[in-house]
Amino acid sequence: MATGFFRRFTKRFFLIINSIFCGAFLLACLVPLLNPVSWWWMGFLGIMLPYLALALVLWILFWWVLKPKLSLLSIVCLLIGYKQIGVLIAMNAPSSFEATKNNPNTIRIANWNVRSFLGISTNKEKQRLSRTEIADALKRVNADVLCLQEFNHSYTKSYINNLALFSSTFPYSYFSKDFKRDGGTYASGCIIFSKYPIIDTGKTKYPGKFAESIIYADVVKGPDTIRVYTTHLLSFRFNNADYEGIDKVKDDPESIAASKNIIRKMKRAFTGRGAQADIAKKEISSSPYPSVLTGDFNDVPNSYTYFTLKGVRKDAFLQQGLGIGRTYISLAPTLRIDYILPDRVFDVIQFDMIDEDLSDHLLLVADLQLKK
């Protein structure tokens, strides 16, 4: 009798724990539908979704061994959340990126957060060298259009004359100049470089003191005009003290002071990006031309930001990539926060993610072709 009671208790206990994971996963699946301006706390669940999905897979294996029919609980939940899982993992055949452009009908677009050309070293001498190394890396990918975030330039200081690094290869450009100092002689923000003529440009500023903007450039390639957008959405703005706080929370979950500061910054970022995503969606929906949206969204695929901006667009990574596709090298192995999202009138011919070890973000490259 004691053995029977123990078995029933154990089964019920594990089933309750499994149900809690299922509930958390299904709640996380609602994240793309709820604007974080009002539902900011759901953003935490969005970040956790890959881990919740993995937990359900482990629960399936667990019950499959002990009582197969109980594995249906997790299976049904995963089927319900297939759209959210579908944007996490690219399942294409492994392939190598062809650096040589053999098809004249394609346009190659590169996107990279260049981290103010500082590189990832704390050594001042290496930081000075990183600007030319970053420029050389971008030239090697042989892109037609570059979309860069955290680009900076000085009109008076030669060691920050970053426009000159690209002007000979890319004669056309549009710079957002979101942040200025030194009487306007120094500026930073997003920039679009192009080998092809740019016939029009535009900028929509996001509200807020530290906000940037979404910009576009109308690029003419042969008979086609393509509108290229790029943007840099609000980040968590973690500093070294915050990263130390995150480590402290990992070691001591009851570290209240560190937790409060981290949560405060994350709340501000979640709500800010929700508002920015709505503004950017309105802007890109007004394009009179086939368009490509690029940028550092600072948000994961299972987020309101991503689903709002992607809409019916293609995701170049999902079309031709493989795996989870991490684009940000800090904090967690599941942070895909940088994107190339073309209209559905484009075919994604090939795609690559390159770690040049020169930024905390990976360089994205995609060859796109307009359907005729």
In sequence order, the 6+-apart residues with CB closer than 8 A to the CB of 233 are 212, 272, 273, 276, 277, 280, 295, 296, 297, 298, 299, 305
β-strands 198-205, 213-221 pairing: antiparallel
Q: Tell me which H or E stretch contains 225.
A: strand 224-232
Directed axis angle between helix 72-80 and helix 2-28, to 10°? Answer: 0
Please report the pLDDT score of residue 184 as a whole number: 81
Asked if residues 367 and 349 have their Cβ atoms less than 8 Å apart, the reply is: yes
What tens-digit pLDDT sequence spans the chain (372 residues)?
A: 456 666 777 888 999 999 999 999 999 999 999 999 999 888 989 999 999 999 999 999 999 988 899 999 999 999 999 999 999 999 998 888 888 888 889 999 999 999 988 876 565 655 666 889 999 999 999 999 999 999 999 998 878 899 999 999 999 999 999 999 888 889 999 999 999 999 999 999 999 877 899 999 999 999 999 999 999 999 876 655 555 545 555 555 555 555 677 888 888 889 999 999 999 999 999 999 999 999 999 999 999 999 999 999 999 999 999 998 899 987 777 789 999 999 999 999 999 999 988 999 999 999 999 987
What digits encode the pLDDT tens for the residues 318-337? 999 999 889 998 777 778 99
Distance between CA 90 and CA 320 in Å, rounded? 7
What digits encode the pLDDT tens for the residues 234-282? 987 665 555 554 555 555 555 555 567 788 888 888 999 999 999 999 9
Distance between CA 339 and CA 327 in Å, rounded? 9
pTM, two decimal places: 0.91
Tell me the one-letter amino acid at 126.
Answer: K
